[in-house]
């Protein structure tokens, strides 16, 4: 089993890629560009999968992060083949991921 630090690294790398994909684009642009949508949703799936692999003790110790919601978002994206809520994805990108990045950065200090 990998160490939690490895999964945190995967999460931060995925967030960085999402930041790169969405840098300088508006919500309208995001909603109109399938390739960016696909790339972003894939990275959110990776974040959810890495979160799922974190140890229970780590998640309990760092319970200020909504791990169940993060994993739930991944599950929704994986299983909603034709019905991804892109507004929710955009909200995640702009509101939730910066906070997650900040919290993980604090944990790693």
Q: Which of 10, 17, 79, 106 is catalytic?
A: 79
79 is a catalytic site residue: yes
10 is a catalytic site residue: no
Q: Which of 10, 17, 42, 74 is catalytic?
A: 74
Of 34, 14, 35, nearest in space to 93 by CA: 14
CB 10 within 8 A of CB 46: yes
Beta strands in the chain (DSSP E): none
Distance in angstroms (rounded) separating the CA atoms of residues 88 and 73 = 9
SS3 for 96?
A: helix
Q: How far is CA 43 from CA 10, 56, 61, 78, 94, in A?
A: 10, 22, 25, 11, 14
Catalytic residue numbers read 74, 79
């Amino acid at each position: 089993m990998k160490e939690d630090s490895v999964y945190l690294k995967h999460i931060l790398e995925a967030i960085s890629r999402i930041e790169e994909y969405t840098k300088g684009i508006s919500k309208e642009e995001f909603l109109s560009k399938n390739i960016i949508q696909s790339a972003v949703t894939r990275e959110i799936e990776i974040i959810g999968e890495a979160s799922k692999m974190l140890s229970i003790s780590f998640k309990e110790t760092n319970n200020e992060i909504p791990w169940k919601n993060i994993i739930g978002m991944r599950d929704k994206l994986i299983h909603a083949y034709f019905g991804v809520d892109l507004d929710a994805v955009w909200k995640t990108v702009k509101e939730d991921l910066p906070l997650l990045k900040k919290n993980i950065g604090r944990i790693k200090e």
